[in-house]
Chain A
Amino acid sequence: MATIQKQVRMVFDLNKCLGCHTCTMACKSMWTDRNDGQMYMYWNNVETHPGEGYPRGWENLGGGFVDGTLQLNSPLPKIVESYGAAWEYNYDQVLKTGGGDATATHVVPVPAPDGSSAYSSNWQEDIGSGTNPNDSHYFYLPRICNHCTNPACVAACPRKAVYKREEDGIVLIDQSRCRGYRYCLKGCPYKKIYWNPEEKKSQKCIFCYPRIEQKQGNFCVTQCAGRIRWVGYAQDTNSNVYKLVEKWRVGLRLHPEFGTEPNTFYIPPLSPPTFSSTGGPITNTRRIPVSTLANLFGDNASQTQAQREARIQEIFNILETEREKVRAGGSSELVDILVSKSEADRVQL
């Protein structure tokens, strides 16, 4: 593998994600509205967990590495069934202005996802799990390509069309070299590479590299209404991504057992306690079970489930301790970083 001089990283605070999808729309309007083949793609997506995500069931499709060996056993998810076909809304049938004929009573997607296997990128939005009001819970999980340190997509391509840049660790698919074999789709365990059937190429998040090269934050970072994201270089000790991940250690990897060493990190979401099953006094148990979070997040591929749960509890303790300091009138570097009022607080390039 080539020597990576600097590695970009992104941190997401899941305590702040509103599920507003502004990040998704930013990326879509910047990169994936250029031809019909891209319309179904959301290089950045926000999915509700518990939930099957986008593409449907991606966590169990396969790919990544097992004991260091690349797995190419994943099926290729179909566009309509697994991602959801891109649709238009029938504004021209609903509106009276702009030449609309106002024949329909309400806005519907056209074509509408149909039938028992209908699906789309946010089909299970806000559904989550549990029973209301006792322990119902969900949280939002924004995802981009993780620009992994050990990318399965790079390993999968037999003609080296996928590569990891030495100057910043961004993983790209050379569109002039790609011949549409799609082994990279099979290799990526996060299913963050997409097939463009019109251009006949595989395509994915480019980490807004033209912006990064100008020291501008990714569009999904700068547009985020909840101010939940930070971007910077892993080795830059002055960056907030470094402080969050290496110093305060509140960031965890998504599915580290896939073996690709992703460079995106998530601060797990705290949640209020549950009611007892009889609607009685609140319990000591968090609504979002720590076990659910430990299924998703951990530091590295070798941690056990119990170790992951312990790390999540540790992070919760750190967050609550630092928050309490500020409530009591003191100060906390961690809380200051997590608040990050200005864009400069969230982008250190």
Chain B
Amino acid sequence: MYSFKGADAMKNAIRTCLKNILFVAVLAVAVSGMSAMGGSGGGMLTITAVYVSGANGLNPSDPGWSSAAEVSIPINRFIDFVEGGGGMMDCNMMGDMLNRTLRVKALHNGSTMYIRYTLSDATQDASVGDTDLFGDAIALEIPYARTTTPPICMGSQADPVNIIMWRGDLAAPQNIVAGGIGTVQVSPDNASQNLSRYQAYSKGVWTVIVARPMTAASSNQIAFTRGLSYSIAFANWNGSNTERNGRKGFSSWHTLAVQ
């Protein structure tokens, strides 16, 4: 994990970035032979939300989960704020390299969508009970226009995004609307705060399942419709590293296909 400190560090970081671009290019060639479902290469990956009638996806042992193929999403970019230089970096910069992997599965039963995350994390951060405590968090981001790929950091005014954010200290995941950096807002209508979750931390691994009705509760939610594909991106915050807001790891755009 790298962090930026000051203008000179910025130049060094850009040099590191360029070295890492070369590294990623080499890596991409090396893994290009792997299949998209289960590969961890640099290309766009597809997560298929399989249909299992009657599945209760909030139960991690539900047999429906065995039908869902797991995709390893690289959380390979990191953005930070500059301690001695005035605040949050521009999120639309490439950011530094990161080595996290978010394993994702998706399942639905025709009325409820379930997204399952498996994430290695040495520390469990499920409390904000002190000034210096931040919660582990995972978010998914889908443009309201469904198949566009807006600026990955909170979309834009013309191409806004729907974000579903799980955080270890929250009783329920938040439904969020955003239209550009600094604009995230928990959607104010109670109807759109209709998410629930399962979470468990054991032996250095988070298992998180986020559930939401497939139909949109309001215009503040994207509808999950069978047969359609969606642009999707993921972000991860490690609470013990004081990650929150833009200080986070994130992926590039991938695809969610709803069976």
Contact = CB atoms under 8 A, between A and B. Distances in A.
B184 A179 contact: yes
Among B132, B183, B184, find the residue whose CB has the most chain A CB atoms closer than 10 A: B132
Nearest to B7: A69
A252 interface: no
A182 B131 contact: yes
B182 interface: yes
B82 interface: yes
B128 A180 contact: yes
A210 interface: no
Contacts of A197: 128-131, 133
Contacts of B130: 78-80, 195, 197
Nearest to A81: B130
Contacts of A29: none
Nearest to B6: A69
Interface string B119-135: 00000000011111100
B43 interface: no
A57 interface: no
B170 to A, nearest CB: 9
Nearest to B170: A200
Given A71-B83, A156-B87, A159-B183, A185 B245 contact: no
Chain B contact residues: over half helix, strand or loop, or mixed? loop
B139 to A, nearest CB: 12
Interface in B122-156: 128-133
Contacts of A82: 131
B128 A69 contact: no
B204 interface: no
Among B131, B183, B244, find the residue whose CB has the most chain A CB atoms closer than 10 A: B131
Given A158-B246, A159-B184, A179-B245, A69 B85 contact: yes
Given A158-B245, A179-B184, A78 B87 contact: no
B84 interface: yes
Interface in B34-88: 81-88
A82 B131 CA distance: 10
A71 B84 CA distance: 5
A160 B128 contact: no
B88 A158 contact: yes
A73 interface: yes
A250 interface: no
A181 interface: yes
Interface string A71-115: 111011111101000000000000000000000000000000000
Contact of A79 (B85, B86, B131, B181): B131
Contacts of B83: 71-73
A180 B244 contact: yes
A120 B246 CA distance: 33
A266 interface: no
A145 interface: no
Given A72-B82, A158-B81, A159-B182, A183 B131 contact: no
A211 B68 CA distance: 60
A155 interface: yes
A185 B131 contact: yes
Interface in A194-249: 194-195, 197, 200
Interface string A167-184: 000000000000111110
Contacts of A69: 84-86
A66 interface: yes
Contacts of A72: 81-84, 87
B223 to A, nearest CB: 26
Contacts of B131: 76-79, 82, 182, 185, 194-195, 197
Among A70, A156, A158, find the residue whose CB has the most chain B CB atoms closer than 10 A: A158
B235 to A, nearest CB: 14
B182 A158 contact: yes
Contacts of A79: 130-131
A71 B132 CA distance: 17
A85 B216 CA distance: 44
B86 A155 contact: yes
B248 to A, nearest CB: 11
B132 A78 contact: yes
A75 B183 CA distance: 26
Contact of B87 (A77, A183, A195, A200): A183
Interface in B170-207: 181-184
Nearest to A181: B245
A160 B181 CA distance: 11
B76 to A, nearest CB: 23
12 contacts: A66-B84, A69-B85, A80-B130, A156-B87, A158-B81, A158-B87, A158-B182, A160-B182, A180-B244, A182-B131, A183-B87, A195-B130
Given A72-B81, A72-B82, A73-B84, 14 more contacts: A69-B84, A72-B83, A72-B84, A76-B242, A77-B132, A78-B131, A78-B132, A156-B87, A158-B81, A159-B245, A179-B184, A179-B245, A197-B129, A200-B169
Interface of B: 81-88, 128-133, 169, 181-184, 242, 244-246
List of 4 A-B pairs having minimum Cβ-Cβ separation, nearest first: A76-B132, A195-B131, A158-B88, A181-B245
